[in-house]
Structures are given as structure tokens and as C-alpha cells.
Amino acid sequence: MEALSRFVVKHRRSIIIFFLAIAILNTFLTSQLKLEYDLTKYLPNESNTSKGVAIMRNEFGLNGSAQAMVKANNIDEALAIKQKLLNIDGVSAVVFTDEYTQAIQLGAFTQEQINKMHFKDGYARYIIAFDEDDYSNKTNNAVKQLYDTLGEDAFLSGSAINVYFTRNGSYDDVINIVLAIIPVFFLILFLMLDTWLEPIIIIFVMVIALIITLGTSAISGSLSFMSLICLVILLFAISMDYSIFLLHRFAEEKKNGLDLIDAMTAAVKASFSTLLASCLTTVAGMLSLVIMKYKIGYDIGFVLAKGVALNLLACLTLLPSIILVLNKSIEKTRHKRLFLKMEGFSKGVLKNKFVILAIFLILVVPAFYGQNKTEFLYGGSVLSASSGTRVYKDTVKINEIFGVNEPLVILVPNTSPEKEYKISNEFKKHEEVGSVQGLYAAINPSFPLALIPEDYKNYLISDNYSRIILNLKHAGENPETFALIEDIKKIVGTEYDNNFYLLGESAAAYDIKNVSSKDYLYVNIVCVVSIFIILALTFKKLLLPILLILVIQSAIWVNMAIPYFTNMPIIFIGYIVVSSLQLGATIDYAILLTTNYLAERKHKNKTESIIHALNISIQSILTSAGVLTACGFLAGLISQISGIAELATLVGRGALLSCIAVIVVLPCILYVFDRKKEINK
């Protein structure tokens, strides 16, 4: 690494210019980055939802939808409101009581059924269709106009509403989270370093790495909004350690009598292997996500791994270059650095080692059980429509007045009117199906198609497919809804085998659940094995990597069991991402403590080695864990998207639990499992 170190020092001004040029280019590219909000696009191409969406788009067109409920004294007032909604740019149709004339004539509905669905207890309910799909800019703007037109007293729900809040909430989240965490970074860096200017330089370098990460993502296509928020929350917190380590090493080399240039050359050279090993374990945890069949894992894992790698590159090249160029200014901003004295804590841990290990074992067993029993949520609606959000409250109010109406579209080949008629009648008998809309749900197969109004016919059949629209009495992600989906699949399957498709939020969540159910096992195996290999090569031992992974894995189990014991379901993608991230990122705490312990153990006994290793490691561990914990909890408090807030809270709590496990439990494990002959004082 001598050549790299000298190259960086020699060409420091050129390196700064290069990074600034790349950052300017990537700033432009970042402005072109397309954020993806449709989580079903990450399902495999062979999944029911992916195939069904493609067929629906080709055969019928793919239109966004929503429902709105407003107070209305009479039908005339409700019809006047309907006209206002039709005047909104982006709205293609508004279904109200006057739209069912043909369906009533055909016997599909009675007037009493129509009133129950659309006008009841002084409220009017409208089903709104948009020109484009739920995720388009035009639909997003139309939803905004809906709120402006209907006012704050209106109640709106549906897929387009969920996307609207997720989309606007994620943009606000990024801004608010960055504004909140940068002061936290600055404060921690200020305490850990001994100048005012170095924290600003470190944050600047990390921002450059973030811009390059986002810009290169724009080149490759779109990026999930979840990946963007994870990147903002985690990248700074995970990568800050690299900069602190390098600057501490630089200060040590200067204290050893080296001049500025030689000190930085020595610091970069000496830091490289340590920082690379730390980076590799983190990247290994993140890249384990790319094997998921549910490709949101690839999206999140790859961009996070790329961001960490770019941060390491910037830390080893751009940061030293700026420090050397601005050294005179930096020296003018020196202040006293914080030092933590933890000898009493270290002795207390060792004194109570067997009690600590007993408590650890008592906690691990129920934690392992609980994390296996945690209830998961899978669909995109859980991100914006969970308990406490406006969408959730509006949906509950609409359901109170008009009952649950969860739309589910069934696409079947239009080759057999008799089969459609048969399954439609089966659905009408089903207690958990509120209504059935389909061409042969209303008429007998022998009825002449020429007598059916063309608009009504085109709405329900195409050249190749028929669509049957069910309104389910169960909504959301719960065992009852998934059991109902399975019942529907059995009914349709008796006539069409596997040649049919289900579309809707419940069907998409069901699909995601089935696709990703085995992902966690595979991801966890790949993550643990890859990190084990890195640790085995680092320590050249087999038992030690197992012990270190066990300590962090136990903290993960506790973290993921808390939702089970508090009866709080969590979003599955958050569970799998945080599990991999917590192992990959916080194993560094265990590596640092163990490395220092082994170094001390060469010339000290176990007790002295543990105490000294903790004393020299704990400040770095608390700094790293403190940043990740603060960022996670802050983002959890700030985020307007409940799924993201939940994920961020898991990150913050996971970092805290890993920190406690490393500084309290790991020293006891090292002491007990160290069978090396004791060295006398």
C-alpha cells in the first residue's frame, strides 16, 4: 500500500479536482434518478402479479383507483360533487349511483345494493378511476387536486392514495432526516476529534460519496424509494468510522515525529488493511440481500454496498487530500478532545462475568423463539396506510359507513362463458365476498351479447380475457384475507387450472409473502457464511469467528423478538434488511475488541487483557454504535412513512443491542473460552 499512499499524497490537488468534477456530473445525474414506488415490480417475472399486471395493461389498460367519501344531504348534491371530480385533470371516471343503470337492467345489482355501496347515512361514496396508473405523475397531481377540491373533511383511500402519501412522504423524509442527522454527526465528530474543521471535512467527503452513489444509480436505471431512504439513514452512520480511524492514525504518526506528508503517507498505509476488513464485513452483509427472489433485496443491498465501498475509497483518497491542503486552517481550530475512562466498567463486567453469561443465556432462548414467531407485513400499503396514518383513519371511517370493500380482479381466458357463470355464482354464495361484477355474473351464458351495451361489455371483456371484479369483506394483511385469497384461487382453479391471475393489493401482498418466505433463510445463511470466512481469514481461527457471530446474532434475535412480545407486526423487508445489516455492520465492534484483546494477551493474563482491551476499544465502539443508534431512532421519529419509521427504529435498536452485547457479553465469553496458558504479572 506504499504506492497508493504516496500517490494520494503526491497528487492530492488533482484528486480533489477529480472528485469535485465527478460529483458535479453525478449531481446532474441524480436529478434524473427515477424513484420506484411500486414494490410489485420487484417480484419475479414469473409471479402471478407480474404476469397479471402485464396482461391487464395490454388487454384493458392499467388505471389507478381510489375511493372518496364526503358528506352530502341528498343525491343532487352528491351528483354535483361528482361533476367536480370529473373536471379534475387526470380523472377518467367517477362511479356513483347513476352509473349502474345498465347493470341494474341486466340484473347484476338492485337499487338497494347500489345505495348501500354509494349513498348512506348522509355520506356519498365515489369510486374514482384515473387516466394513468397509481404511480404516474399525472395521477399523483390528480390526487392532490382531489384533496384540494373536497377539502379536509373528505375521506380518501385506495391504492392511488397510498402511493400519493408514500411518494410525498419519502421526499420529505429524505430532507428532514438529513437535516436532523447532520448536526448529530457534527456533535459526535466534534467530541471524538480535536478540531472544529475536521468534522465539516468528513461530512463533506461523505456527501460527495453519497452524490456519486446516487448518480451512478441513475445511470443503471431506477432506484427504490426504500433504497434511497436506507442509504440516507445508514451510509453516513456506517462509514463515519473510516474517517475517524484514519484521522486518529494520522494524529498518532505526527506525535511519533513524522512531518505532515510522511505522517499522512504512513496513516493511509497503516489504515488500509483494517478499514478494508471492516468494509468487507459490512459489504458482505449487504450483498447477501442480492440473492433474494424478491428483488427489492437486490436493489437495497447493491446500492448500500456500493455506497459503503465508495465511502471507503473517498476516505482513503479524498479525505487525506483535503486534510493536507487545508492543514494550516485545521490547526487553527484545535480544541480539547473527549476521552472516556471506563476502567471501572471493565472491572465490573469481569467481576460479574458468570451472572452476565447466565442472563445472556436466559434472554437468548426466548428471543430465538420470539423472532421466529414475529408477524410480518408484506404489501406496499403497509408503508403508508398503517395504524395512525391519515390513510388508515380515512379507510376505517369509510369502512364504518359502507363496510369493507377490498377490490380483487380475476383475469380468466374468455373462452368459456359457462365457466365464468359457474365461478361467479360460487363467489355470490361466498360469505366473505361482498359483491361480484362480471359479464356472466349478471347474465346467463345463453344471453345474446349483441343486446349488451358496448361500453359495459368492453369494460369486462377483451379480445383474450374476461375480468371478474370481487369486493371482498376482508381487507389488509391478515390470516383471514390470505385464507380468502386461497379460497378464491381454489374456486377459480377448479375451472381454469393455473391459467388465471389475481390482481389487487391483497393479492400482491399474498404474492410477495409466498415469494419472499424462503428469502430470509437463504440470505441469513449467505450472510453468516461469508462473514465467517472473512473472520476466519482475519483471525486464522475457527472457534473465534463462531463466538463473535453468535454474540451479534443473539443481539439480532433480541431485536427481532421485541415486536413479537409487544404484539407489533413488522414489515418483512425491514426484518430481512436490518438482520443482514446488523450482522454485517456491527460485527466490527466485536472484531475491534477481540483484536485488541488478542494483542494484549501476548504479554498479559486474561483479566488484564480484557480490562485493557475494553478500555482502548470502548470509545470507538460507543462512537460507532452511538451514531447508528441516534440515526435510527431519529429517522424513526421523523419519518412520515410508518414502514420506514419501523425499519429505522429496528436499525437504531439493533445497533444499541449489538453494542451492549459486545461490551458486556463478549468480554465474558472471551475470558471463559480462552484456554491459553496464563501469563503471570
| Category of 61 on φ-ψ map: left (φ > 0), alpha (ψ -120 to 50) or beta | left
At 215 the pLDDT is 92
Q: In 638-650, which positions are buried (b, 16+ CB within 10 angstroms) versus exposed (e)?
A: bbbbbbbbbbbbb
Residue 363: per-residue pLDDT = 93
pLDDT, residue 107, reads 61
Q: Is the pLDDT of residue 102 over 70?
A: no
**Residues, the chain, total?**
681
Does position 550 have pLDDT exceeding 90, yes or no?
yes
Please tell me the predicted confidence (pLDDT) of residue 466. 92
What pLDDT score does 562 carry? 94
Give CA–CA dist 503/410, Å, rounded: 6
The predicted pLDDT at position 655 comes to 93
Q: In whole numbers, what is the pLDDT of the chain averaged over residues?
A: 87
pLDDT in tens, 323-355: 999 999 998 888 887 777 777 888 898 899 999
Q: What is the pLDDT of residue 110?
A: 67
**Span 39-51, mean pLDDT?**
88
Q: Which three cell numbers stand for residue 370?
A: 420470539
For the chain, the 3-state helix, strand and coil shares in percent, each to the nearest 5, are 70, 10, 20
Instruction: Please name the residues in contact with 353: beta carbons below 8 A apart, sequence gap of 6 or more.
Output: 667, 668, 671, 672
Residues 604-632: what's their mean pLDDT? 87
Pairing of strands 570-571, 376-377: parallel
Maximum CA extent, the chain:
102
**pLDDT interval class at 552 (50, 70, 90):** very high
CB crowding 395-428: b at 16 or more within 10 Å, else e? beebbeebebbbbbbbbbebeebebbbebbebbe
Instruction: Specify the CATH architecture of the domain 340-373+518-681.
Output: Up-down Bundle (1.20)
- Cell (9 digits) for 32: 434524473
Highest mean pLDDT among 360-374, 437-451, 515-529, 641-655: 360-374
Q: What is the 3-state secondary structure (H, E, C) of 369-391?
A: HHHHHCCEECCCHHHHCCCCCHH
**Residue 325: what pLDDT?**
94
Place of cell 487525506: 320
pLDDT of 405-446, one tens digit each? 788 999 999 989 899 999 998 998 888 888 888 888 877 888
- Residues of the chain above pLDDT 90, percent: 36
Strand positions, DSSP E, 44-154: 65-71, 91-95, 119-120, 123-130
The strand pairing partners of 358, in sequence order, are none
680 confidence band (pLDDT: 50, 70, 90):
low
Q: What is the mean pLDDT of residues 286-309?
A: 91
Alpha-carbon distance of 202 to 66, in angstroms, equals 46
Q: Are 331 and 609 in contact (CB under 8 A)?
A: no
Tell me how far apart the alpha carbons of residues 531 and 529 are, in angstroms, rounded to a whole number.
6
pLDDT of residue 516: 83
- Regarding the domain with residue range 1-32+193-337, which homologous superfamily does it belong to in the CATH classification? Multidrug efflux transporter AcrB transmembrane domain (1.20.1640.10)
Query: What are the pLDDT digits (tens) for 587-600?
Result: 989 998 998 899 88
> For domain 390-515, which architecture applies?
2-Layer Sandwich (3.30)
Q: Which residue has the cell 409487544?
A: 566
CA torsion through residues 334, 179, 635, 206, sign: negative
Indicate whether 111 pLDDT > 70: no
Same fold, 1-32+193-337 and 340-373+518-681: yes
Q: Give residue-wise pLDDT tens across range 180-195.
A: 888 888 888 888 788 8
Which residues fall within 8 angstroms of residue 382, CB to CB, at 6 or more apart?
477, 571, 642, 643
Report the interhelical angle of 666-673 vs 606-638 (nearest 10°): 150
pLDDT band at residue 25 under the 50/70/90 scheme: very high
Instruction: Grade residue 681 by pLDDT with cuts at 50, 70 and 90.
Output: very low
- How many angstroms separate the CA atoms of 443 and 421, rounded? 8
- The CATH architecture of the domain made up of 63-103+110-151 is 2-Layer Sandwich (3.30)
**Grid cell listed for 167:** 411518494
% residues pLDDT > 70 (the chain): 95
Residue 170 has pLDDT above 50, yes or no: yes
Can you give the residue ranges of every domain in the chain? 1-32+193-337, 63-103+110-151, 340-373+518-681, 390-515
Query: Which pTM does this prediction carry?
Result: 0.86
**How far is Cα 587 from Cα 547, in angstroms, rounded to an integer?**
11
Can you read off the three cell numbers belonging to residue 479? 390470516
pLDDT tens-digit series, residues 191-211: 878 888 998 999 899 999 999
Amino acid residing at 94: V
Phi, psi of 501 (to 5 degrees): -140, 140
Q: Which residue shows C-alpha cell 411518494?
A: 167
pLDDT value, residue 489 = 92
pLDDT of residue 388: 66
| Pairwise pLDDT comparison (568 vs 13), residue with the higher score | 13
